Every structure is written in C-alpha cells, then in structure tokens.
Chains A and B, each alone.
Chain A
C-alpha cells in the first residue's frame, strides 16, 4: 500500500494538477480572507463556506487522473497483476489524493493566526475556526472519494474530469434543486418507481444478467407499491427528503454556526467509505469484462 501511495503522490506532485488545486485553494482562500476581514468582520467559518465552491473545480482536477489515466496508459494491468488486494491499491491512491488535498489546507490553517496577529479590533475565535477547518477537510475527503469512483468508471482523463465536475455541480446545487420537486405523495411514488427501474437497468448493465436484474427491479417495485398502498401519507415530500440527504455540501453549513457537528463528520466518513467500496468494486469488475 505504501508503494502505491508514494507513486500516486509522486505522480500528483510531478504533474500540474496537484499544484493547480493548491494554487486555486490558496488564491481564493487569500481573497476571501482579505475581503471578509476588510469589512471588519471576524469570521473565518464563512471564508471556508465560500471556499467549498473551489471543490467544484478542485476535486475533478485532483481525482481525474487517478484511475482513468492508468487505464488509458494500460498501466492498470500492472496493478491487477501485483500481489496486492484491490482494497489496498484503492486506499493507497485515496490517501495520496487526500495528502495533496490537505497540503493547501495546512497553509490555510495559518490564516486565522495571521489575521489575529494583525487585527486591531476583535479576533477570530480559533476553536470555531479550526473546528470548521476539520469539517472542511472531511468534506473534501468525501468529495475526493466520489471523484476517485468517477475516475474509476472512465477510460479517459477528460471524460473523468467532465463527469466529476457535473456531479460536483449537481451536489452543490442539490438543495435549491430539490425545492422544485413537488411534495405530493404521488410524485414521490413515481420518482421512486423510476429510480427502482433505473437501478434495475444499472444492475443489468453491470452483471449482464437480465433475469436477475428484472427480478431485482420487480421485487423493488412490488415493495414500493405495497408501501405506497399502506403508508400513502408518509410519501409526501419523501423523495425531496431523500435527495436532500445527498446534499454533501450543505452538511458543512452547521460548522458556520460555530457548531462542531460530529454527525456531519460521521456522514462524511460514511460517504467516503461507500464510494471507496464502490471504487474497489468498479476496479474488480474490470477483471470480469475488460
């Protein structure tokens, strides 16, 4: 695992993307800190809340090459033939990406101290600032796992970057988007029905087993129908709620209210674990149909 980690880190630091990510983060971090504190406010958490926007571009940049490039260069065959488990390979890559992610954040950690040293009136509450910093890092880690997974699905780096950017964009604007979803029970039911059918299709594409996918989707649809018949009242607004749960970016908001939100951290760790697991599965699947 260390070998994979070191190589991935090396390739990130020898390429441009790691530096572009760091530069973006530091540049906008600097601008936001200056802008907000020039107005006389002493609030570091809003700086970080604004900076989450940089993840929209930063995460695709950081993760696009991780697996897609290996596939493109055919070096993935080496990874498959090495006496290492796929989990170790994926974790090695992931931690290398997190290291690159954490580098500019470590520099940003100095900003509150600098502001406090120079400030003539008021000081940034450091506890809240560093609590939010932890939340910011965990958000980045969760998004990195999502980006790694997307990269593992793609053959080309450009495609991986594009797809990742779209997903980040969707996640970023998910909450405003959910407000457009009608909250009637029927809409929720239809949305879930379509989702179950889609899951069936994805399963069919992945396993190439039509009968299995059909049974799976059928059972799911049946269960949905029964649930709808029994608890119609509960379906009102349920789809919007479920989609709202996926709003990764919004989980950061509680940190801006000076709350060190353990639940958000657990949420980020869960998202990370799920997507790392999916990445391993997507890499393993290549073994079956390359």
Chain B
C-alpha cells in the first residue's frame, strides 16, 4: 500500500531522516515507534505530502507523493501531532468543510458526515464550537477529519498524547476498529500502546529504521536473552555455586543481599521450559530454600533499548574514526 525507499530529509546540515526504506501492507495496523525527536513526525509529514523530502521516493497505492500529489493525498487521511482544527467553527461545520475540500459532493455530504461522526463518536458535540471541546473530543474530531472521504490509509501522529487514561483507552479501541478495514500507521513513543494496538512495528531511532516486523517476531529475535530472577534463603557463594553447575547457565550475577537471603540474576542460553525445573532442582538438591523464581522474557522495551543502544554505539564508533555524523536527535 505504501512504499518508502531511501527516504532522506535534511534541514540544513541536520539530518532528520536518513535512508529510510520500508513497505506498508494494506489492512494492517503499524506502530511507528521511536523516542522523541527520532524523526517520526518528519517521516509522517513526508508520507502525507506536507513536507518535501531531500531524497528518496514515497508511493501510496502506486501514486508517487511528489509527482502525483493530488491522487496520492486523496488516498491518505492524516492527523498531525497537533490536530489542525479551526477553533471558531462547530464540529459539523468543520467536518463539512474538510469533506468538501476532499471532494465529497454535496448530495453525499450528510451521509458521509453521519458515517464519520458515528465511527468516532463526536455526534453529541456536533453543534458545539471546537474551541469549547475537551482535548479528547478534539482528538476525535481530528481523527474524524482524517476518515472523511474514506481514504484507505490513515496516518495518525501520536494520537493519544495528552489524553487522560480513559480517553486513551477509547482512542485505542477506535484505532483498533479502524484497523479492520484500513491501513493504519500510528506513531508513538509509548511501547505499551504498540503492544495493545498494533500488528506490526517499525522502530526508528535517530532517523534510521532499526527494526521492523510483527511484535512476536521482534520478541523472538531477543528470546535467547531470557533472564531468571531468583531469591534464595542462603549465602551468596553457596547459591551461586549451585546455579553455575546447571547446564545452560551463562552467567550468574549477584543482586540484593540480605542477612540470610540473596537475589541473583541468572542469564541462560537455552530458554526451554525445563530450565525452570533444572534451576529449582539444583537449588533444592543442596537444600537451599527458593523464595522466588521469576522468568523474564525480553519485552518490547528491552528490544527497543537494545536496538537503540546498538545504534548509538555504532554511531559513536563511526564518529570516533573521524567520520562526523549528524543525527536526528532534537
């Protein structure tokens, strides 16, 4: 549905997005993930034709956003980071304006407005001035605006920022429901949002794509790094000796140590199910009481931290060799 190839955006000497290449398939909810200033908004602005790229191509449903902007834009609904709302208009007036500007003909207008207000739940505030709406409703109106004229692609830039927890849940449900018949790309720096809403992840850091794929595949890549947190009622040396004897254990590091108990972090190479048993048997064989045994799978957070640190180290390495790099951090 969307093809991005070798996209680069420079502001003067600062590079905000560097050589970004990815493909977005239709009917999938994508999470565009990255820390603040990673280049998410810049990329989204380019995808929607609001910003020109320095290099690279973007095609939406086969139409190049730079060469056939009108046709490409007609296929995208966009909610920028700050919803572009005219404060002095009522919700109905505003949506009617956007619909007409998007080419919805007058006979079809009422039906289209009805459809969009029903989906986003802004019907009850339809005749109120946007100025007087709460942030949650403004966000909804912003999403409603993106949905008008029924574009196949919906791009939402940080749609849940600044909302209260209840509103966040509602907006996420709304996005999930949109995902049923639209291609949705939403940007966020909140990992749990990606976990609850998205099917696939595009991770971006300092303007570069560091990882992409389904949630499961990303977690699997890092599944080798399973860590156990074990608290035992015994001395540190004794416990460590017992654990290090277990086949498959890579490293045992000491955590907190109390008067008669200690906590250890055990990283293992073989994350098989019987590892739990082997560890607990090894301890009970030596009559060491286990107070807690917890298996920690690499979460999306870990994946993200690992990837961004990796990228930073690479950058630092290159900079050290004399090749100065400009990165997209604000």
Contacts and interface: CB of A to CB of B under 8 A. Distances in A.
Given A77-B78, A81-B78, A83-B71, 8 more contacts: A7-B97, A73-B86, A74-B82, A80-B48, A80-B50, A84-B101, A287-B51, A288-B51
Given A78-B98, A208-B12, A83 B103 contact: yes
A24 B87 CA distance: 27
Given A3-B97, A83-B103, A208-B12, A75 B84 contact: yes
Interface of B is mostly: loop
26 contacts: A2-B100, A3-B98, A3-B100, A4-B101, A6-B100, A7-B97, A10-B93, A11-B88, A74-B80, A74-B82, A77-B45, A77-B78, A77-B84, A80-B49, A80-B50, A80-B51, A81-B49, A81-B50, A81-B73, A82-B98, A83-B69, A84-B70, A287-B52, A288-B51, A289-B11, A290-B45
A85 interface: yes
Contacts of B97: 3, 6-7
Contact of B86 (A4, A11, A85): A11
A82 B80 contact: no
Contacts of B84: 73-78
B316 to A, nearest CB: 29
Interface residues of B, number: 31
A121 interface: no
A15 B88 CA distance: 9
Interface in B138-181: 145
Contacts of A85: 70
Interface in B1-50: 11-12, 45, 48-50
Interface of A is mostly: helix
B102 interface: yes
B74 interface: yes
Contacts of A287: 50-52
Interface in B42-99: 45, 48-52, 69-71, 73-74, 76, 78, 80, 82, 84-89, 93, 97-98
Interface of B: 11-12, 45, 48-52, 69-71, 73-74, 76, 78, 80, 82, 84-89, 93, 97-98, 100-103, 145
A288 B71 CA distance: 20
A6 B98 CA distance: 11
Given A2-B100, A78-B98, A78-B145, A73 B87 contact: yes
Interface of A: 2-4, 6-7, 10-11, 14-15, 73-78, 80-85, 208, 287-290
Please provide the 7 A-B residue pairs with the shortest distance between their CB atoms, ordered closest to farther: A3-B100, A78-B84, A83-B74, A3-B101, A80-B50, A83-B73, A75-B84
A84 B76 CA distance: 13
A290 B51 contact: yes
A81 B48 contact: yes
Contacts of A81: 48-50, 73, 76, 78, 80
Nearest to A84: B101
Contacts of A77: 45, 50, 78, 80, 82, 84
A81 B153 CA distance: 13
A7 B86 contact: yes
B305 to A, nearest CB: 31
Contacts of B45: 77, 290
Contact of B73 (A14, A75, A82, A208): A82
B107 to A, nearest CB: 15
B18 to A, nearest CB: 17
A4 B49 CA distance: 19
B155 to A, nearest CB: 9
